[in-house]
Amino acid sequence: MIKAARVAQKASEANALELARRVLAIEAEAVRALTERLDGRFVAALELIAARHGRVVVSGIGKSGHIARKIASTMASTGTPAYFVHPAEASHGDLGMIEAGDVFIAISYSGASDELVELIPQVKRRGAKLIAITGNPDSPLAREADVNLDAAVAQEACPLNLAPTASTTAALALGDALAVALLEARGFSAADFARTHPRGKLPHQALSRQALLHVKDVMRTGGDVPQVPSGATLREAVLEISRGRIGMTAVLERGLVKGIFTDGDLRRTVEKSGFDARSVDEVMTLAPKTVRPDMLAAQAVHMMEEFKVNQLLVVDERGALIGALNMHDLFRAKVI
């Protein structure tokens, strides 16, 4: 009797494995078939999103709603501002989230979900564009859409051919394809990804640790900080820039930062009046941008981008020079 039970258990396990393999094969085939049907409509959807100045609003009901949430989340984390709106809630006030510059992506395999079809006039009245992801090109949603993306599947993986399985997988894959194509079109980088995932981890890269790096953790100190006294000649300043190899030198007066002399200052000086015997004080940048050592390195990056500079001097509360920072230091520390 025990032996018979074991035989029955093994048979049950074999059946379960066979069913699982069938499910995976059907869903894999559903995604593969999408690649053969991708056409100009996919490009039109990308161009429609790229041309708008608003956000992408993704919506769906039931299982398609879960897929819509995931697509919106993927887009938002890869450079395309997006969010999910529940179609039932939309008619109870959430329509206010949709604006004229937006693109509304409606996901419905039948293309006839009442909750979504009823939203079509409202979406269009608000001036938003409509992209539909459906399995039926003759459905109301597909006909009224500015672009309809075909997500039809030959069959569901459910043995009854009823439960949304292969169809939701196909819709998700199509949404991912849109998100990645938009990522590429926008030039979204690994550094951009890190900024939207401050607590995430990439292979060989702990983003959370980098996010907590401070200026003092990555700055140059001591003899590695180029500096000349106020009154130094241009020649002395240029030699110090060359020695420091970060494209600038601080100009100090009694230990406090008076100015900064950069490669850019040097080029402008030579272009304007040539290289002469003037002192560095006459051509330096006064009151340069500075940071404190306890500032987050990410904030220093923001300052560099905002003020379009490649170097920052690090000072204490009195304005005394204690370090220097440039973009290469931040790259090495993987802050950017």
Which CATH number belongs to the domain containing residue 285 in this structure?
3.10.580.10
Assigned domain for 100 exists: yes
Distances (CA, A) of 280 to 88, 235, 286, 321: 68, 9, 11, 17
Structural domain containing residue 275:
215-332
Distance CA 156, CA 238 (A): 71
Whether residue 270 sits in one domain with residue 142: no
What pLDDT sits at residue 206?
46
* DSSP character at residue 276: -
62 conformational bin, left if phi > 0, alpha if psi -120 to 50, beta if neither = left
In 3D space, the residue among 125, 123, 109 whose CA is nearest the CA of residue 65 turns out to be 109
Which CATH number belongs to the domain containing residue 110 in this structure?
3.40.50.10490
Please, what is the average pLDDT of the chain?
88
Assigned domain for 193 exists: no
Distances (CA, A) of 220 to 226, 238, 318, 324: 10, 19, 19, 5
> Count of H helices and E strands in the chain?
15, 14
Whether residue 225 sits in one domain with residue 304: yes
* DSSP character at residue 127: T
* DSSP secondary structure, 185-252, as one string: HHT--HHHHHHH-TT-EETTEEHHHHHT-BHHHH-B-GGGS-EEETT-BHHHHHHHHHHH-SSEEEEE
In 3D space, the residue among 45, 280, 2, 3 whose CA is nearest the CA of residue 177 turns out to be 45
What pLDDT sits at residue 335?
79
Assigned domain for 210 exists: no
Whether residue 272 sits in one domain with residue 126: no
Whether residue 153 sits in one domain with residue 78: yes
Ranges of residues in the chain whose predicted pLDDT is under 70? 1-11, 190-192, 194-211, 274-277
Token pair 């699982």 is found at 20
Sheet architecture: strand order including 290-291: 290-291, 311-315, 321-326
Distance CA 50, CA 60 (A): 22
Residues facing 83 on adjacent strands: 57
Question: 100: helix, coil or strand?
Answer: coil
Assigned domain for 124 exists: yes
